[in-house]
Chains A and B, each alone.
Chain A
Amino acid sequence: MSAPLGYYPGCSQSGTAAEYDISTRACCKALGIELADVPDWTCCGSTPAHTVDHHLAGALSARNLLQAQAAGFDRVITPCPSCLSALKTADAHLAHETYRAKVEHLLGRPGPGPVNCQSVLQVLFEQIGPGGVKAKVTRPLTGLRVAPYYGCIMNRPPGLMNFDDPENPMAMDALLSACGAEVVDFPFKTECCGAAFGMPRLDVMQRLSARILDMARSCGADAIVVACPLCQMNLDLRRGQVNSASGQDITMPVPYFTQLLGLALGLPDADLALGKLVLPLAPALIAAKEREAQREAHREGERAAKEAVKAGHRPAPQPVCEEDAPCA
């Protein structure tokens, strides 16, 4: 096993997004990626800091990069796209002298050297890859239709995030396919869910999250799979608020991709923390199982019909498949 990667959990992951943290750690362990927490990490500043001042944002993130460097990490990974964006922005801007000088003034000490910051998604995709995941799947998600929802900033702006396609990212699609899930073609992969407006402008968040849910439903998804704690909160915890504004009653669950990955890897329930989701995943898994059973019955019927033809009998009428998708 190679040296451990610096792991920056981020504030949400010790609170409202605890299941993202728990399942991330479990998946990495199962796939042979050793993580070690950035010691004494603090908030990256997230969106509020950069909307107030770029140097304040830089200092809050740079402190964590300093902590990582002091612990000997040249690479830091985080599950949260907002943390990632903050850390990467600071890292990139610190290359400019005047910016660095102001950040160092706020830090009260010399700033960090370059640190390679990546998302957990990127590391799982690039280091393990769909092939590596597939080889370790013991409980395939066969029949489960998922809409991969990346959120705004996992891949944007491309010059900064430097991972996957900014308009049609595919990393999560590929990993979920490797888990045996059916990935629907989801056109709203990078549309905004309303971000942090849930508190100050609930109406705005409601409108935007309702669009995401509506699209996922019309794509026939059983679940929207996310990689961002804020997207997850808006679509899951705030579902009642979103449904009440849109007049819909969508009960589709919103698991983190690491929870589904862990499920496929056969990890124990405690490592998946599925009980922390507000909308339960179980109905989606049951729907998938029923769909698969129906398909298997259809395939069995086809086989029996072929055998009958071979044996010289008239073909039996085929069972009608209720699905839109081909039943092969």
Chain B
Amino acid sequence: MQSPLQAIDLTTSRDQSFVEDVARESGQDLRSCYQCGNCTAGCAYTMNYDIPVHQIMRLVQLGLRDKALSCRSIWLCATCQACTTRCPNNIEVAVVMDVLRHMARRAGHAPERLVKTFTDGFLASVARHGRVFEAGLAACFALKSGKPLQDAGLGPAMLSRGKLAFLPHEPGGNGKAEVAAIFQRFLKDQESGK
């Protein structure tokens, strides 16, 4: 957690367009956050965050784009919705965290590299098979994470209980092709900056 005593020069660091972008993309009235801290109090991940969630809300209000987008916290939010549920001003805080993650990706930030690796691997599995191929995802992650043996111990328990499918369980009809087409259009739009 960072020190509360940090000088910020708002005359130079404030990015008003960032404030507007987050408000537009999240559909949330960010000004109504009055820093009560309820979101942080209920957040199960505060202990692992570098910046607690109410301070992230403040960074967004202040337009401190780089600080907000480069933090680890936005990658460690599990979208458990405790913050959204408990915000007295009905801000969907979890949606704001989501939007910051989207922006961080576009800006090339990924301080929690493995979270991004997992997410990308999951979606790649869906794009390829139409459904998540759990064993394939686990194997890919093991290879890319640099921790190939982390979950190796789970194999025998899964195998003996018939939970480890070595082949993907793909949809039988057009589903696989339609999902692949959704991803193709999405990637094309991303490349063209839409």
Q: Could you list which residues of chain A lie within 8 angstroms of chain B, going by C-beta atoms?
A: 11-12, 14-16, 18, 39-43, 45-56, 59-60, 63, 67, 105-108, 152-153, 156-158, 166-167, 190-192, 194-202, 204, 207-208, 237-238, 240-241, 275-278
Contact = CB atoms under 8 A, between A and B. Distances in A.
Contact of A40 (B115, B117, B171, B185): B171
Nearest to A93: B27
Nearest to B106: A53
B85 interface: yes
Contacts of A11: 131-132, 134, 169
A208 B46 CA distance: 12
Interface of B: 44-45, 47-48, 76, 78-82, 84-85, 92, 94, 98, 101-102, 105, 112, 114-115, 117-119, 122-123, 126, 130-132, 134-135, 138, 141, 145, 150-151, 153-154, 157-158, 161-163, 165, 169, 171-176, 178-179, 181-183, 185-186, 189
A237 B82 contact: no
Given A43-B130, A152-B82, A49 B145 contact: no
Contact of A199 (B82, B84, B138, B178): B138
Interface of B, helix, strand, loop or mixed by DSSP: helix
A157 to B, nearest CB: 5
Given A40-B171, A43-B130, A200-B145, A51 B79 contact: yes
B79 A50 contact: yes
Contacts of B174: 40
A41 B179 CA distance: 10
Given A41-B175, A63-B182, A201-B115, A275 B78 contact: no
B132 A43 contact: yes
Contact of B176 (A42, A106, A208, A238): A42
B117 A200 contact: yes
Given A63-B178, A167-B85, A195 B78 contact: yes
Select the residue from B92, B101, B154 with max chain A CB neighbours within 10 A. B154
A152 B81 contact: yes
A45 B79 contact: no
Contacts of B112: 200-201
B84 A237 contact: no
A246 to B, nearest CB: 14
Nearest to B153: A240
B179 A60 contact: yes
Contacts of A158: 85
Given A14-B131, A43-B132, A53-B102, 9 more contacts: A42-B131, A47-B78, A52-B101, A60-B126, A105-B185, A108-B182, A157-B92, A195-B80, A237-B157
B48 A201 contact: yes
B118 A196 contact: yes
Nearest to B77: A51
Select the residue from B78, B145, B157, B179 with max chain A CB neighbours within 10 A. B78
Contact of A16 (B81, B134, B185, B189): B134
A15 B80 contact: no
A63 B176 CA distance: 11
25 contacts: A11-B169, A12-B132, A12-B134, A15-B134, A16-B134, A18-B162, A42-B130, A43-B126, A54-B102, A56-B183, A63-B182, A153-B81, A156-B84, A166-B85, A190-B82, A194-B78, A196-B122, A198-B151, A199-B114, A199-B118, A200-B114, A200-B115, A201-B114, A241-B153, A277-B161
Contacts of B186: 53, 55-56, 59, 106
A256 to B, nearest CB: 14
B172 A40 contact: yes
A230 to B, nearest CB: 10
A113 B158 CA distance: 40
Contacts of A166: 85
A278 B44 CA distance: 26
Nearest to A277: B161
Contacts of A238: 154
B134 A42 contact: no
Please give me the 9 A-B residue pairs with the lowest Cβ-Cβ distance, nearest first. A40-B173, A152-B80, A156-B81, A200-B114, A195-B78, A48-B122, A11-B132, A192-B80, A192-B44
Contacts of A207: 47
B161 A276 contact: yes
A328 B183 CA distance: 61
A265 to B, nearest CB: 23
A39 B173 contact: yes
Given A42-B130, A106-B186, A202-B150, A191 B44 contact: yes
Contacts of B169: 11, 14-15
A237 B163 CA distance: 10
A11 B129 CA distance: 11
